[in-house]
Amino acid sequence: MIPDDLLNGNISGDGTSYFSVLNVLNLDLTSLSANLTTINSVINNFQSTNPNMVATLAATNTMLFDTINGDSNGGSGVPPINYGPSVNSQTSTFPSVFGSFNTSGLLYSFYSGIASLKNNLTTISSNADAYMINSTDISAAITTANNIITPLISSLTNFDQQTGNFMNSFSYTQYGTMGVQIYYSLVIGLTVLSLLGAVIMTFCEKYRCRYLIYFTCFFIVLIALIGFFISIVLSIILPVTSWTCDYLEVALASQAGFDCNFRLS
């Protein structure tokens, strides 16, 4: 399952998240590379040297300047409407409603909004300039990553297919059970023959049956040595396999487990 997980991803051990690996990463990088020209063209419109961006920033400066000039409370201009108090008239409320560009009122809200827009546009243009400077390096990095990932995907795919074909043609349960049955059948059969030879030799005085005992004892010892060798091999392989599976299970269960087991943080 590990090659397939590396190719196509899987859910984490706790079932709370999904991780995507080489195939998805390769598709994303290929899509990004194909659309990089369009992305660069769009970002170019936000550069500080782009005529549209220059005109937009100039327009915001003009609006800020005009707002200050139209403010008689805190600016240097004359308000559009300014009724002074008199004996037979009511004081105009427009000055308080309009307010000042740097304190409160409609002028303050308008001025603050335009100033914030200008600051955001300036930040965007600065980031666009920085991106365009590095756009060539970004394209080269994407190409390099694709060149590394593509052969790796091909190798893992071939390995995964070969492993799958092998697993489909070989049943651990079927052949493992058959091997154990044959092993114990040989042991029991040879033991019965040895006992039969001993009984015949003892009670029937057929001493030539001792050769049957020698024959069966030889193969019983041989089978015991084979079983001992298999036990030694399995005692080495199984603990390592079990520990490796436990280690990977913890590592793939969550981001924290992966970082901890592979010392990434």
Kindly report the number of other CB atoms within 10 A of residue 216's CB atom.
20
Q: 11: closest CA among 3, 20, 2?
A: 20
Query: Which one has a higher pLDDT value, 113 or 245?
Result: 113
Q: What is the dihedral of CA 198, 199, 205, 210, to 10 degrees?
A: -20
**112 pLDDT more than 60:** yes
Mean pLDDT of the chain: 77
- pLDDT of 119-172, one tens digit each? 998 999 999 888 888 888 888 888 888 888 888 878 877 877 777 666 666 555
Average pLDDT estimate for 242-260:
73
pLDDT of res. 152:
81
Contacting residues for 203 by C-beta, under 8 A, at least 6 apart? none
Confidence of residue 232 (pLDDT cuts 50, 70, 90): very high
254: β partners: none
Kindly report the number of other CB atoms within 10 A of residue 98's CB atom.
22
Q: 79: closest CA among 62, 64, 66?
A: 66
- pLDDT of 12-71, one tens digit each? 555 555 556 677 777 888 888 888 888 888 888 888 888 888 888 888 888 887 777 765
The pTM (predicted TM-score) of the whole model is 0.45
